[in-house]
């Protein structure tokens, strides 16, 4: 994604072989990406890990467990939560969600813990996950790659 972005911008400015333009564009892209990391509302860093806000949809119409709004999370700094579709399974939703997050983040499933919240939290599909041992920027890089 990063190299494609740079190629498009260098083509746009007509300087495909000018290294100083490439460096300027790279630093501009890194600055914008760093701003999104600081402002992301769906992820919060703590001393022992990171909290992740999730909006979960499950049911018979969902065919595949996946994160559905990756492109929005990349573009919009103030997205409310990570949207997840969970396919029906014999396991509980939280178990399936922990497995999906651990695969996406390349961590152990034991490092994913769900925080208990208000009484309507499970019925609405809104969840908060505590991911132990991973920094905010690492979590965002792994989740959005």
113-139 per-position pLDDT tens digit: 998 765 544 456 888 999 999 999 999
Output the six-digit token pair for 26: 């790279």
Q: Assess whether 96 and 81 both reside in one domain.
A: yes
Q: Assess whether 60 and 122 both reside in one domain.
A: yes
Q: What is the pLDDT of residue 111?
A: 94
Greatest alpha-carbon span in the chain: 59
Output the six-digit token pair for 121: 């939290």
Q: Assess whether 47 and 96 both reside in one domain.
A: yes
Q: What is the pLDDT of residue 28?
A: 46
Q: What is the pLDDT of residue 113?
A: 93
Query: What radius of gyration, in Å, describes the C-alpha atoms of the chain?
Result: 18
Using N-to-C axis directions, what is the helix angle for 93-105 and 136-144, rounded to 10°?
Answer: 90
Give me the chain's average pLDDT, please: 77
Q: What is the pLDDT of residue 31?
A: 42
User: Which residues lie across from 84 on neighbouring strands?
Assistant: 56, 67
Q: Assess whether 27 and 75 both reside in one domain.
A: no
Reduced to 3 states (helix: H, G, I; strand: E, B; else coil), residue 55 is: strand
Q: Quick check: 143 pLDDT over 70?
A: yes
DSSP conformational letter for 62:
-
Exposed, middle or buried: residue 17 (CB in 10 Å: 0-12, 13-18, 19+)? exposed
Query: For 23-68, what is each residue's pLDDT tens digit?
Result: 555 554 454 444 444 568 889 999 999 999 998 888 888 888 888 8
Beta carbons of 55 and 126 less than 8 angstroms apart: yes
Tell me how far apart the alpha carbons of residues 129 and 111 are, in angstroms, rounded to a whole number. Answer: 10
Expressed as residue numbers, the domain containing 65 is 43-144
Q: Assess whether 137 and 93 both reside in one domain.
A: yes
Tell me how far apart the alpha carbons of residues 42 and 44 are, in angstroms, rounded to a whole number. Answer: 7
Domains in the chain, number? 2
Q: Assess whether 124 and 66 both reside in one domain.
A: yes
């Amino acid at each position: 994604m990063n190299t494609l972005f740079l190629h498009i911008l260098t083509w746009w400015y007509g300087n495909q072989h000018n290294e100083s333009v490439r460096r300027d564009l790279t630093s501009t892209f890194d600055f914008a990406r760093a701003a999104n990391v600081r402002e992301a509302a769906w992820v919060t860093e703590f001393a022992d890990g990171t909290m992740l806000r999730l909006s979960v949809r499950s049911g018979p119409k969902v065919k595949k467990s996946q994160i559905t709004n990756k492109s929005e999370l990349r573009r919009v700094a103030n997205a409310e939560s990570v949207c997840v579709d969970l396919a029906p399974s014999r396991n509980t939703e939280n178990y399936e969600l922990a497995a999906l997050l651990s695969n996406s983040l390349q961590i152990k499933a034991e490092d994913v813990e769900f925080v208990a919240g208000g009484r309507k939290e499970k019925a609405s599909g809104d969840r908060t996950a505590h991911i132990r041992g991973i920094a905010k920027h690492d979590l965002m890089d792994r989740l959005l790659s």
